Amino acid sequence: MDSSLYQTIQPSLQQLQKWKNSFGSFTTHPSLVVEDSIIQETLRTLSERLTGNYPFHHPSYAGQMLKPPHPVAALAYSLTMGLNPNNHALDGGPPSSEMEKECVQALANLFGYHHPYLGHLSSSGTIANLEALWVARSIHPKKGIAYSSEAHYTHGRMAQVLGMRAHSFQLDSEHSITEHLDALPFDSIGTLIVTMGTTGLGKVEPLAHILDWAHSRDIRIHIDAAYGGFFKSISNLLPGPVAHWDRMHEADSIVIDPHKHGLQPYGCGCVLFKNPEVGVFYKHDSPYTYFSSEELHLGEISLECSRAGASAAAFWATLQCFPLQSNLGFGPILTACHRAAIKAYNYLNKCDVLTAYIAPELDIITYFAGEKDSLRSTSTISNLSKEIFHQGMAHKDLSQQYFISLYTISSKEFSQRFPEIPADSADVILLRSVLMRPEQEYTVEDLLCRIEADAKNLL
């Protein structure tokens, strides 16, 4: 966080301190006292060790789905964390529980869920998806789940945890969807997962077609929009059919991660259920937790118990500054990220030594290196990808370093798009850039220019 921002938080800290003091003064127990010099030295060592990170804050970082939170979120989190409310029960944090409900309502409304619905924040996308699958199993105890081969691995893993059967299907093109879905043992599938914003390629799976297919077979739909969910605010600007976004409210449950595109620190996922009656599956009889009100406690509709109230406060504060609108708040941020990916795609289409793998749908771009006119094979492409990936981080001048990621797909899948490139290995490793920083719309061409120069040197 910019150090000048610490000034911004001072009046609020003082206000909170005044409130704390109004309960009467007391002396901190001697067992908790640490000398200032020790704290200072510890923090100095900490900041030194933290420089071992990759520069997540910088536009030259285009590796994985991560970036620091917006300063508004960081300040709101810090301020609230000083009190450390627990959003498990209303008693644990009445104001932050209210804020959580307001945040959840904003997300629900974004997708077209309106009262009544059920939802809450969670500590991650993994836990939010686990909860959605747990409800799926509670509704259809004898049936399994299905998801595309590009779904996040968490679904397969959580199916194991829940003891559910999991089926995977291909979703290579919109034309062959029904064919692939028809091959599923649909009598034994209770819930089908649709990923809107796949982790690898940032693809938006064709929800509208899948909904039609699933509903006529009485199969529930869960949308994993952990990554792509915030793009709903600019769905009319995206290249794919807007119908997929427009029909999100028909799904039975949706997951979105504010700690990905929602400018939040880690510890902020969200799960939403269209039908509030699924609350019945959470029923329990805790003698410990609730005593302050008859109102719904978030802990009564959540698998997790303790959760940071600071997460809800940070997201609430962020939504005050960045509404979920297409032309205000989140919209312009996501539009810039998408524009960065389009710029990258256009650059790659003109480049001699780098080739785009597919056109970006959101803000993730995948590509590979090699002379376009000479002989390339899947194994030479993989080797080059690995070399470029390491070379980006090996430049002596830190300002010349760049950070991208590798993405492995089967050569069979690759050959469907590039049949002219011989497949001499089972898999092929591609280069991948996640352009989550709006600044990257101005810097992505320079980033690719540096990658191109390294590719030429390596060839």
Residues binding ligand PLP (CB under 6 A):
65, 124-126, 129, 152, 154, 195, 199, 224, 226-227, 257, 269
Alpha-carbon separation of residue 179 from 174, 182, 212, 213, 410 (angstroms): 10, 5, 14, 11, 21
Decide whether 148 or 380 has the Cβ nearer to ligand PLP.
Answer: 148
Decide whether 388 or 436 has the Cβ nearer to ligand PLP.
Answer: 436
Decide whether 99 or 226 has the Cβ nearer to ligand PLP.
Answer: 226
Q: Which residues pair with 413 in a beta bridge?
A: none
CB of 298 to ligand PLP, least distance (A): 19
Residue 270, C-beta contacts closer than 8 angstroms, at least 6 positions apart:
103, 104, 107, 119, 120, 121, 122, 128, 255, 256, 257, 258
**Cβ atoms of residues 254 and 229 within 8 Å:** yes
CB of 270 to ligand PLP, least distance (A): 10
CB of 424 to ligand PLP, least distance (A): 31
- Nearest residue to 88 (alpha-carbon basis) of 269, 290, 253: 290
Q: How many CB atoms lie within 10 A of CB 5?
A: 12
CB of 31 to ligand PLP, least distance (A): 36
CB of 223 to ligand PLP, least distance (A): 10
CB of 366 to ligand PLP, least distance (A): 15
Decide whether 126 or 191 has the Cβ nearer to ligand PLP.
Answer: 126
CB of 359 to ligand PLP, least distance (A): 19
Decide whether 222 or 247 has the Cβ nearer to ligand PLP.
Answer: 222
- Gap between the Cα atoms of 268 and 56, Å rounded: 18
- Gap between the Cα atoms of 439 and 396, Å rounded: 24
- Nearest residue to 409 (alpha-carbon basis) of 396, 388, 427, 391: 427
Decide whether 65 or 333 has the Cβ nearer to ligand PLP.
Answer: 65
**Cβ atoms of residues 368 and 384 within 8 Å:** yes
- Nearest residue to 436 (alpha-carbon basis) of 369, 367, 365: 365
DSSP calls for 352-398? SSEEESS--SSSEEEEEES-SSS---HHHHHHHHHHHHHHHTT-SSG
CB of 128 to ligand PLP, least distance (A): 8
Three-class secondary structure of residue 145 per DSSP: strand
Decide whether 129 or 355 has the Cβ nearer to ligand PLP.
Answer: 129
Contacts 24+ apart (CB under 8 A), 300-304: 301/118, 301/120, 302/88, 302/120, 302/122, 302/131, 303/127, 303/130, 303/131, 303/134, 304/88, 304/122, 304/123, 304/127
Cβ-proximal residue to ligand PLP, closest one: 125
Decide whether 89 or 166 has the Cβ nearer to ligand PLP.
Answer: 166
Decide whether 347 or 403 has the Cβ nearer to ligand PLP.
Answer: 403
CB of 126 to ligand PLP, least distance (A): 3
